[in-house]
């Protein structure tokens, strides 16, 4: 079962007199002041690993304090994974999941969250799910969590729009926006951001674990059923163009579209037979794409 390792109050170091209070323990450094979704998630993700589970979060822009940290995210002006420095603000930085590992399809510029996920994501997922790092299910979950959770945070933090041209409406309730709302209002006398950052880590952590739980317990089993049906399609019909989902009417369109590519299905599947939630057989044409409304 997934569980949430939140940052206890004692492990978030305020910068007034911080040098005196730093203990001989593992430290994760990030910047102080206004915070964003990417560094809150980066800190949360790191603390899911055994070596950083009890890590102190040091929020500062003081170079000497940051130099003493074991890991630094979203500050410092350098990306040097060998020294665990994961900033993306320097002008020379343009890395994406694709540029770091060309078999990945995503070209969105990475934020500190994406960098941490790239370097530690598979270990984090295996730790949270209690699986071996070589478990065959992990690559699909890793890709799904990036594409449907992390990439959005990377794009928003780097100011990358979903589309060209003017937006038809505003998006103000996404995770990045809700983290931003936890910063103190500009005209509030107390501008302490430490409590807000703790809440931000809790918020992003809860949502990350919720999505991982869903993809692991619901999305992945559906994918497995669709893959089994694809591999057995010639047993149902010699054309290979009919898919029979005899074991249940799970969500199948996204999986069919993606698995046809992954399994290099030469003849597109044109028709899908499945049992719906009421136990009745139904039939549909195969989709043109994941988000297409027309078959």
* Range with lowest mean pLDDT among 10-24, 59-73, 194-208, 210-224: 10-24
Does the pLDDT of residue 97 top 80, yes or no?
yes
Within its chain, how far is the Cα of 231 from the centroid?
30
Average pLDDT of span 186-197: 95
Asked whether residue 212 falls in the same domain as residue 249, the answer is: no
Q: Please, which residues have CB within 8 angstroms of residue 239's CB and are 6 or more apart in sequence?
A: 267
Asked whether residue 94 falls in the same domain as residue 239, the answer is: no
Residue 6 lies in a domain: no
Asked whether residue 36 falls in the same domain as residue 176, the answer is: yes
Asked whether residue 206 falls in the same domain as residue 239, the answer is: no
Asked whether residue 154 falls in the same domain as residue 274, the answer is: no
- Summarised one tens digit per residue, pLDDT across range 242-289 is 999 987 778 999 999 999 999 999 899 999 999 888 888 999 987 766
Average pLDDT of span 92-96: 98
Average pLDDT of span 183-197: 95
Q: What is the pLDDT of residue 2?
A: 56
Would you say 44 and 71 are in contact if contact means Cβ atoms under 8 Å apart? no
Does the pLDDT of residue 32 top 90, yes or no?
yes
Q: What percent of the chain has pLDDT over 90?
A: 80
Residue 149 lies in a domain: yes
Q: Please, which residues have CB within 8 angstroms of residue 33's CB and are 6 or more apart in sequence?
A: 61, 193
Q: What percent of the chain has pLDDT over 70?
A: 89
Asked whether residue 184 falls in the same domain as residue 261, the answer is: no
Which DSSP symbol is given to 109?
A: B
Triad 140, 141, 144: Cα angle to 5°: 85
Asked whether residue 215 falls in the same domain as residue 241, the answer is: no
Does the pLDDT of residue 216 top 70, yes or no?
yes
Q: What is the pLDDT of residue 4?
A: 46
Q: Which structural domain range is residue 253 located in?
A: 232-285
Local confidence band at 135 (pLDDT 50, 70, 90 cut-offs): very high
Which 3-state string (H, E, C) describes 164-209? CCCCCCCCCCCHHHHHHCCCCCCCCCCCCCHHHHHHHHHHHHHHHH
Does the pLDDT of residue 56 top 90, yes or no?
yes
Average pLDDT of span 138-160: 98
Asked whether residue 158 falls in the same domain as residue 49, the answer is: yes
Asked whether residue 64 falls in the same domain as residue 189, the answer is: yes
Q: What is the pLDDT of residue 40?
A: 99
Local confidence band at 20 (pLDDT 50, 70, 90 cut-offs): very low
Q: What is the pLDDT of residue 255?
A: 94
Asked whether residue 100 falls in the same domain as residue 199, the answer is: yes
Asked whether residue 200 falls in the same domain as residue 89, the answer is: yes
> How many structural domains comprise the chain?
2
Q: Report the mean per-residue pLDDT for the chain.
A: 91
Pairing of strands 242-245, 271-275: parallel
């Amino acid at each position: 079962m997934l569980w949430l390792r939140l940052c206890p109050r004692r492990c978030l170091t305020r910068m007034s007199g911080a040098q005196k209070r730093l203990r001989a323990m593992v430290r994760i450094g990030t910047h102080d002041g206004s915070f964003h979704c990417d560094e809150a998630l980066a800190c949360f993700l790191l603390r899911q690993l055994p070596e950083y589970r009890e890590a102190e979060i040091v929020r500062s822009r003081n170079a000497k304090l940051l130099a003493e940290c074991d890991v630094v995210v979203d500050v410092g002006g350098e990306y040097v994974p060998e020294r665990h420095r994961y900033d993306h603000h320097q002008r020379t930085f343009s890395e994406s999941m694709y540029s770091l590992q060309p078999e990945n399809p995503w070209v969105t510029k990475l934020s500190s969250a994406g960098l941490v996920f790239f370097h530690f994501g598979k270990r984090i997922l295996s730790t949270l799910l209690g699986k071996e790092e070589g478990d065959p299910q992990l690559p699909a979950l890793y890709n799904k969590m990036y594409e449907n959770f992390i990439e959005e945070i990377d794009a928003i933090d780097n100011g990358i729009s979903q589309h060209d041209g003017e937006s038809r409406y505003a998006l103000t309730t996404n995770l990045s926006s809700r983290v931003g709302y936890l910063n103190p209002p500009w005209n509030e006398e107390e501008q302490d951001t430490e409590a807000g950052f703790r809440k931000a880590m809790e918020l992003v952590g809860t949502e990350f674990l919720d999505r991982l739980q869903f993809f692991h317990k619901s999305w992945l089993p559906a994918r497995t059923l669709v893959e089994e049906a694809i591999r057995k399609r010639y047993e149902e019909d010699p054309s290979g163009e009919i898919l029979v989902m005899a074991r249940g009417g799970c969500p199948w369109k996204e999986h069919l579209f993606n698995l046809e590519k992954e399994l290099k299905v030469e003849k597109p599947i044109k028709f899908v037979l499945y049992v719906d939630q009421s136990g009745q057989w139904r039939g549909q044409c195969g989709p043109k794409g994941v988000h297409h409304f027309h078959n």
